[in-house]
Structure 1
Amino acid sequence: MEEKHREILQLLEENARIPVETLAKMVDLPVAEIEAIIKKLEEKKVIVGYSTVIDWSKIVETETVTATIDVKVTPKRGVGFDDVAERIYRFPEVRALYLMSGAYDLSVVIEGKTMNEVARFVSDKLSTIDSVISTTTHFQLKKYKHDGVVFSDGEGDHRIVITP
């Protein structure tokens, strides 16, 4: 992949709403060429989507519970972990799914309205899959940083530091 392509991807990853004209100036290419590169990267599924990072904790009516679930599975002959991963990522509660190294095989990130909803997902849907051996659920208490964006209310400790 060309260096200009990587540069464009990095800029889009930081701000997907950056105007094409601004992007063209930043990488020193014509607007038409930038548009063609972006279209090509979308067609090749290098760019798979555009998203916005939102601090949902500031909108009380939409508060949700996020959990990361470590899952130990028995891989299936011929397809490895892909078959069970596909069954898991098809559930609408699943926000992300990763194959991991270490003690657990899969890491599943889910969202629910309540802790009970997350618990029901684990007991009724996830743990009933044949290949699932065990699960460990971790509830997210506070989000400090996500996708490179720091979540801060700007209120730090404003006390004067006193040293002996």
Structure 2
Amino acid sequence: MSVTEPVTHPDPTTRDLETRADIHDLVVAFYREIVFDDLLEPVFGEVAEVDWAMHIPKLIDYWCRVLLGQPGYGGTILHAHRHVHDIEPFRVEHFDRWFALWIDAIDQRWAGPTADLAKTHAAQIAAVLARKLLDLDWPSRAGSSTSAST
């Protein structure tokens, strides 16, 4: 299975996220949007200097652990993001856009309890990182129209 090409399913909008292939497709579709996003690409490309060939499999492992209970991911999200934040501070707009793109990537292809869990967990990630890195509650009432409830 290629890291860069999504696996296609017949009418995936009627399916939930059920397999590693589904998670692969979600992660690839989401980060494909990131690399073309004017706000987020500089964070990932210029500040974090993400090596996508290394990063995508880790993200697939992470989301497979969270959503499907599969073993594999052993890192800490806060540590990696704190390093990036120390180089170039995150702003609430980064969290808002990241979350909106994640929700869009899910809603375009999947629906069901696991898809809902993916949205809820992403909101929790954004909330924790915003609290730890920016010392604010996310979604912020000032400057954010994104809702974390899904």
Please confirm whether the aligned pair reaches a TM-score higher than 0.5, indicating the same fold. no
- Larger RCO (CA within 8 A; separation ≥ 6): 2
- Asked which structure has the greater CA Rg, the reply is 1
Q: Normalized against structure 1, the TM-score is what?
A: 0.26
Q: Normalized against structure 2, the TM-score is what?
A: 0.27
